A and B are shown apart, each in its own frame.
Chain A
Amino acid sequence: MTSEMITYICKRTVVSTKPAQAGKCNPLSVFDRLMEKNHIRIVYYFPSTRNGEPGVVTKKLRESLSHVLTCFPIVTGRLQKKDDGHWMIKCNDAGVRMVEARAQGSVEEWLKNVNRDKELMLVTWEDMFHKPYFWATFYVQLTEFEEGGLAIGFSCSHLLADPTSATMFVKAWADTTLAGTMLAPPFFHPLPPPRLGNKNPNHNPYTDLINHYKSTIDDRSPAFTNNITNYVTATLAFSGPMVQACMLDTSRPSPFEAMAGLLWVCVSKVKGMKQGLISMSICLDMRKQLGLDKGFFGNCLVYNKVHHAESLLDKSELSEAARAVGESVTKMNNERIMDLIEWLEHHDYEFPPLMNGHDLICANLEDLDPYATLFEEGFVPIRVSYYVEPVFGIGQILVLQSPPSEGPLSRMVMVTLPADELSKLCDDDLILRFNPTILMG
C-alpha cells in the first residue's frame, strides 16, 4: 500500500556551483568520531505552494542547493582515514545524493495517516559502503505531493553533523532559496583545544561523565545483538498550558527537565519497573557551554547518565525524576566537558561505540528552531520530525519544538520504543493527565 503511494522518479548527485579548493582536508573531532554508527534523518513538511506545475519546485530547490553547497565543502566531501587511523573529510567536491519522488494525495492527508515506517520512506539513506571514499554522507529527498505540498527529507551521517548542524544546513539552504544569501554562515573549526599550562593540582576531573563514556565505549553488546526488536515512534504534542502545568508539578524552571522527567517515569512504568526508574541518559547541545558560535558545524552533543535517588518516600516520583534530570543538566558545564574532551583525545578505541545503544536516551532538541526554515515567503513548515538512527537498547525520546502557532512553551516529543510498550505508554494515566495530542503512532 505504502509503496504505491510514493513513486521514485530519479536519483542524482548535486554538486556545488564553484569548484572546491583542491586538496583541502578537515579532520573530525573527538565528538564526531564517537557517532560513527549513527545517522540522522529529518523530515520537513511544507504546505501547498502557488506553483501548481509538478517538478518546478524541485528544480528550483535543486539549483539553490547547488549554490548553498559552495559554502559547505565538508558536506560535499568524502570520508577518508588519516595516517593515525582517525577519520577526516577530504573536500573533493563529490556532492550530495538527491532523490526525487512523487506521492499521491496531499500533505495534510499524509500527515493524518503517517507512522514511522511511512515517514522514513520520505528520507533516503544508504549505509556506509565498504569503501567509504565513494559513499555520500548527505542525502536529500524531495517528495512532491500530487494534490499539494512538499516533503523534504534530509539525512546525514552523524559523523559529520548533529541535529543542530543539520537543521542549520537546511536553514541555510532555505535562506539561499528565498533571498539568495545565508543569514547565518557556518563555522568550520575544531573544538576548543585543551587548556595549556598546569592545572590546579586539586582539580578533580569530573569522573562521572568520563565514566559514562568509558562504559559506553567498552560496552560491545549492541554490536552483537541482532536487533530484531520492532521499534515504533509516536509523536506526542503537549500544548503550552500543559507543559506549564507539568513544570509547576515538578517545580522545575525548564520545560525540558519537566518533560524528560515525565517521560522517564512513564517509560519506566511501561517497561515494568515497579519501583525506581530505568537507566536513562540525557543528550544536550554543548555549544553555549563551550563558547562556540551557534553556527559551529559538527558534533557538539554530549551524553550524560542521570542518577536518581533510590528512595522516594517523601517526594513524588515525577518531581524526583525531573530534579535528577535538572541536576544532570547543571553538572554539564564547561570545565567538565573540557575534561571529557581531553580524556577522549588521549583514549583511542578500536571499535566505534553506539552512544544510544543501551540506556533510554532523552535528547534536548528544543533550540533547533526548524520552523524558521522558509523556502518560500510565508510558507512555514507544518511539521518537522527528527530521527536519530539506528535505535538500540531501551528506546529514545526526542524533545522538540512545536510549530510556532502552538505557542513558545508547547513541546513535541518523539518517543521510540518497542511496539507493545509504546501503545501502553499512550494509554498511561500520568501521560494522559497532560492531555497530549497524538500526532503520529
Chain B
Amino acid sequence: MPQTLPDFSNSVKLKYVKLGYQYLVNHILYLLLVPIMVAILIEVLRLGPDEILNLWKSLHFDLVQILCSSFLIIFIATVYFMSKPRHVYLVDYACYKPPVTCRVPFATFMEHSRLILKNNPKSVEFQMRILERSGLGEETCLPPAIHYIPPTPTMEAARGEAELVIFSAMDSLLQKTGLKPKDIDILIVNCSLFSPTPSLSAMVINKYKLRSNIKSFNLSGMGCSAGLISIDLARDLLQVHPNSNAVVVSTEIITPNYYQGNERAMLLPNCLFRMGGAAILLSNRRRNRSRAKYRLVHVVRTHKGADDKAYRCVFEEEDKEGKVGISLSKDLMAIAGEALKSNITTIGPLVLPASEQLLFLMTLIGRKIFNPKWKPYIPDFKQAFEHFCIHAGGRAVIDELQKNLQLSAEHVEASRMTLHRFGNTSSSSLWYEMSYIEEKGRMKKGDRVWQIAFGSGFKCNSAVWKCNKTIKTTTDNPWSDCIDRYPVHIPEIVKL
C-alpha cells in the first residue's frame, strides 16, 4: 500500500507539470503579447492625451503618402485573400444500409464454405479460425449472388450489386441534402475491384441524368484507401472550379471477387469483405458554409510502392488452379506500421500543437546529438484530434493502430463497432465510422476528426476534418435501428 501512494502522487504532479508545459507552449504568443500590450497601455496613460496629440502632429503625413500606403495595404490584402485556398465543405453524406435479407450469420457462412470447398476440409478449418477471430458480428451482409450454392459471380450480378448499392446511397444523399442532380458539377466514383465499361460513374450519370458538361472520374484498382484519394481529387478540382458541387461515391463490389479456390492467403478477403457503400457531397459554395457538417482541413497521402515488399504485400493474382484472388502477405502489419509512420511524420507538423512538436524536436535532437539510446517520442495525437476513424480493415489493423498511437478503447470504438456491424466495407468503412460517432451524439462543433485508411500499393492516406456545427442524431442512417445496442463487447474468439 505505501508503495503505490508515492507513485500516484508523483504521477499527479507529472500530469500537472505536463498540462502547464502544454498550456505555456501552445499559447506562447498570447502570453508574450499580453505583457507588451499592458506596457503600451501604461505608457499611453502615463503620457496623457495632450502629449499623444503632439506626437501625432509631429509625424507630418501628407496626402500622397497616405494614399500610397492605403493602396499598398489594400493590394496586399487582395492578393492574400485571392490566393487563399478555397474552403472545401462536406455538406452531408449517406451510407448504404444493406437489406436484412442479405445477412450472413457465421453458421451460414461456414456451411456454405463446407459445401463449396467439399474437398478441402483444411481450407474450411482455416476460414473458420479466421472468422472466429475476425471481430465481425452476425449482421454483416453479402450480395445476393454470393448466397447461392454455388455462388454465381456473373458480370450481370456484379452490375446488379453496383446498381443496388450506389443508387441507394445516391438516392439517400440527394434526399438528405436536397441536391438536384442537375447541380452536380463533379462526380468521382471509386470501386477497386470491379471496373466495367462503361464505368460506374457513367452508370450514375445515366441513371440520374446528370449534365453533359459534368467532370466525371472513375478510380479503380486503388484499394481500400481510394475513398480518401477521391476526396483529395475532389478537393483539388474544387480549387480550380469555383462555386461547384462534387459528389464522391465510395464502394466496393464484392460479387466478382469471391475467391473460389483453396489458397489460404487468398481466402482471407472472403471472410472479411462485406457489402457497403457511401455517397458524399463536397462543395465550395459560400451558401453551403452554414449548413455543411465538416470542413476539410488536410489530406495527406503516403505511398510506399517504391519498396518491393510493400508493393507485393496485397497482390491480386491467379492461384495454382487459375482462380483469381487477392493474396495478403504475412508482413502486412509490419508494412502498415511503416506506412503509418511515414504518414504521421508528414501530418504531425500540420496538426500537432506546438508543445508536442517542440517535445518531438527536442527528443529528435537529443537522440541525434547526445544519446541515441533515448526512446523516440511518440507525439500524443489525442491532443490534436477528438475523434479517430481508423479504416476497419480487420481486427489486427485496429489493434496495431491503437497500440502505435496509444489510443484508448473509446477512440477506436467507432472502428471496432463498424467492423462488427458491417464488416470490412473497404473504402466506405470510414463513413460508417463517422456516422457511428455522430449517432452516438459525440460530434460537437469544433471537433477535429482524423480518418486513416490503408490500401494496396501500399498506401496510407489521412484526412483531417473539422466539425462545422454540432450534429444532431437522426433516423435515416445505417445505425438507426441498432445504435442502442452498441457498443458491444467483442470477445477475442467467438466459439462457432
Which residues of chain A have a CB within 8 Å of any CB of chain B? 10-15, 17-20, 62-63, 66, 78, 92-95, 97, 134, 136
Chain A residue nearest to B137 (CB atoms) is A19
Nearest-neighbour CB distance to chain A for B316, whole angstroms, equals 27
In whole angstroms, what is the CA distance A18 to B481 when docked?
A: 11
CB distance from A135 to the nearest CB of B (A): 9
CB within 8 Å of A: which B131-188 residues? 137-139, 147-149, 152
- Distance in angstroms from A141 CB to nearest chain B CB is 14
Measured CB to CB, the nearest residue on chain B to A99 is B149
Closest residue of A by beta carbon distance from B149: A11
- Chain B nearest CB from A71 CB (Å) reads 14
Interface pairs A-B: 3 shortest CB-CB: A94-B107, A19-B138, A93-B105
Residues of A contacting B103 in the complex (Cβ-Cβ under 8 angstroms): 15, 17, 19
B104 within 8 A of A: yes
A-B contact pairs, 26 of them (CB 8 A): A11-B149, A12-B147, A12-B148, A12-B149, A13-B108, A13-B149, A15-B104, A17-B100, A17-B101, A17-B103, A18-B100, A19-B103, A19-B138, A19-B139, A62-B101, A66-B100, A66-B101, A78-B107, A92-B106, A92-B107, A93-B105, A93-B107, A94-B108, A97-B149, A134-B110, A136-B111
Let me know if B114 and A10 touch, CB within 8 A. no
Please determine whether B108 and A93 come into contact, CB atoms closer than 8 angstroms.
Answer: yes
Beyond A12-B147, A19-B138, whether A95 also contacts B105 by CB under 8 A is: yes
Q: State whether B105 touches A10 (Cβ < 8 A).
A: no
- One of B105, B110, B152 near A19 (C-beta < 8 A): B105
In this complex, the member of A15, A62, A63, A66 whose beta carbon has the largest number of chain B beta carbons within 10 angstroms is A15
Identify the B interface with A (CB < 8 A).
Answer: 100-101, 103-108, 110-112, 114-115, 137-139, 147-149, 152, 496
Residue in B101, B115, B138 whose beta carbon sits within 8 Å of that of A93 in the complex: B138
A183 to B119 CA separation, bound complex (whole angstroms) = 45
Q: B152 to A94, Cβ gap below 8 A?
A: no
Contacts of B107 in A (CB 8 A): 78, 92-95
Task: Decide if A92 touches B148 in the complex (CB within 8 Å).
Answer: no
**How many Å lie between the Cα of A420 and that of B147 in the bound state?**
45
Distance in angstroms from B125 CB to nearest chain A CB is 13
Q: Which residues of A contact B105 (CB under 8 A)?
A: 15, 19-20, 92-95
A-B contacts counted at CB < 8 A amount to 54
Chain A residues, CB < 8 A from B111: 13, 94, 134, 136
Please name all residues of chain B whose beta carbon is closer than 8 Å to the beta carbon of A93 when the two chains form the complex: 105-108, 138
* Given pairs A10-B152, A92-B105, A93-B107, 16 additional interface contacts (CB within 8 A): A10-B148, A11-B148, A11-B149, A13-B112, A14-B101, A15-B105, A17-B100, A18-B100, A19-B137, A19-B138, A62-B101, A66-B100, A92-B496, A93-B105, A93-B106, A93-B138
Residues B108 and A95 in contact, CB atoms below 8 Å apart: yes
Q: What residues of B have a CB within 8 angstroms of the CB of A62 in the complex?
A: 101
| Cβ 8 A contact of B114, one of A15, A92, A134 | A134
A19 to B137, CA, bound (A): 9
- Chain A residues lying within 8 Å of B108, measured Cβ to Cβ, are 13, 15, 93-95
Chain A residue at minimal CB-CB distance from B114: A134
Closest to B150 in A: A11
Q: Which chain B residues border A134 with CB–CB below 8 Å?
A: 110-111, 114-115
Tell me, in angstroms, the Cα distance from A94 to B112 when the chains sit together: 10
Find the A residue at minimum CB distance from B496.
A92
Closest B residue by C-beta to A95: B108
The CB with the most chain B CB atoms within 10 A, among A17, A62, A78, A94, is that of A94
Q: Which residue of B lies closest to A135 (CB)?
A: B111
**B101 touching A63, Cβ below 8 Å:** yes
Q: Which residues of B contact A63 (CB under 8 A)?
A: 101
Most chain B CB neighbours (cut-off 10 Å) among A10, A11, A13, A93: A13
Nearest A residue to B103 via CB reads A15
Which chain A residues lie closer than 8 Å to B115 at the CB level?
134
Q: Which residues of B contact A19 (CB under 8 A)?
A: 103, 105, 137-139
CB distance from A65 to the nearest CB of B (A): 9
Residue ID in chain A nearest B495 by CB atoms: A23
> In angstroms, how far is the closest chain B Cβ from the Cβ of A97?
8
For the complex formed, measure the closest distance between the CB of B243 and the CB atoms of chain A, giving whole angstroms.
Answer: 44
Distance from B495 Cβ to chain A, minimum over Cβ atoms (Å)? 8
Q: Tell me if A13 and B147 are in contact (CB < 8 A).
A: yes
CB distance from B43 to the nearest CB of A (A): 74
Closest chain B residue, CB of each to CB of A92: B107
How far apart are B141's CB and chain A's nearest CB, in angstroms?
11
CB distance from B223 to the nearest CB of A (A): 30
Q: From residue B109, how far is it (CB to closest CB) to chain A in Å?
A: 9
Tell me how far the C-beta of A349 lies from the nearest C-beta in chain B, rounded to whole angstroms. Answer: 30
- A residues near B100, Cβ cutoff 8 Å: 17-18, 66
**Closest Cβ of chain A: how far from B99's Cβ, in Å?**
8
With both chains docked as a complex, state the minimum distance between the C-beta of A132 and any C-beta of chain B, in angstroms: 12
Minimum CB–CB distance for A188 against chain B, Å: 19
Q: CA A92 – CA B106 in complex, angstroms?
A: 8
Q: How far is the CA of A240 from the CA of B152 in the complex (A)?
A: 51
Report the minimum CB–CB distance from B71 to chain A (whole Å).
71
Report the Cα distance A18→B138, complex, angstroms.
9
**Bound-state Cα–Cα, A62 to B148, Å:** 13
CB proximity of B492 to chain A, nearest CB, Å: 15
Nearest opposing residue in chain B for A59, CB measure: B101
A92 to B105, CA, bound (A): 8
Q: Which of A18, A78, A97, A134 is packed against the most chain B CB atoms within 10 Å? A: A134
Question: Using Cβ atoms and an 8 Å threshold, which residues of chain B touch A13?
Answer: 108, 111-112, 147, 149
Complex interface: chain B residues within 8 A of A11 (CB): 148-149
Which B residue's beta carbon lies closest to that of A19? B138
Interface centre among B107, B111, B137 (most CB of A within 10 A): B107
The CA of A12 and the CA of B151, in the complex, are separated in Å by: 9
Q: List the A side residues contacting B147 at CB < 8 Å.
A: 12-13
Residues in A whose Cβ lies below 8 Å from that of B139: 19
C-alpha gap A136/B108 in the complex (Å): 10
Which partner residue on chain A sits nearest B124 by CB separation? A134
Report B493 CB to chain A, min CB distance, Å. 13
* Min C-beta distance of B287 to chain A, whole Å: 42
Q: How far is the CA of A356 from the CA of B107 in the complex (A)?
A: 34
- Chain A residues near B110 (CB, 8 Å)? 134
- State how many angstroms separate the Cβ of B95 from the closest Cβ of chain A: 20
Which residues of B have CB within 8 Å of A66? Answer: 100-101
In the assembled complex, which residues on chain A have CB atoms less than 8 Å from the CB atom of B496? Answer: 92
Compute how far the CA of A62 lies from the CA of B104 in the bound complex, rounded to whole angstroms.
Answer: 15
Chain B nearest CB: distance from A182 CB in Å? Answer: 18
Q: Which residues of B contact A18 (CB under 8 A)?
A: 100
Q: How far is the CA of A18 from the CA of B110 in the complex (A)?
A: 18
Which residues of B lie under 8 Å from residue A94 when comparing CB positions? 105, 107-108, 111
B156, chain A: closest CB distance, angstroms: 14
Give A314 to B138 CA distance when docked, in angstroms: 70
CA distance A136 to B114 in the complex (A): 13
How many angstroms from the CA of A62 to the CA of B102 in the assembled complex?
Answer: 11
Q: CA–CA, A14 to B101, complex, Å?
A: 8
Query: How far is it, in angstroms, between the C-alpha of A14 and the C-alpha of B149 when the chains are bound?
Result: 12
Docked Cα-Cα span, A136 to B112, in Å, equals 11
**A11 CA to B116 CA in the complex, in Å?**
12
Least Cβ distance of B311 to chain A in Å?
A: 39
CA distance A307 to B155 in the complex (A): 66
For the complex, give the distance between the alpha carbons of A94 and B148 in Å: 14
The smallest beta-carbon distance between A336 and chain B, in angstroms, is: 40
B101, B110, B138, B149 pick with most chain A CB within 10 angstroms: B101
Chain A residues near B148: list those with CB within 8 A: 10-12
Bound complex: CA A66 to CA B139 (Å) = 13
Within the assembled complex, what's the spacing in Å between the Cα atoms of A66 and B100?
8
Provide the bound-state CA to CA distance between A63 and B138, in Å: 18
In the complex, what distance in Å separates the CA atom of A226 from the CA atom of B145? 41
**What's the minimum C-beta distance from B104 to chain A, rounded to whole angstroms?**
7
Complexed CA–CA distance, A20 and B147 (Å): 19
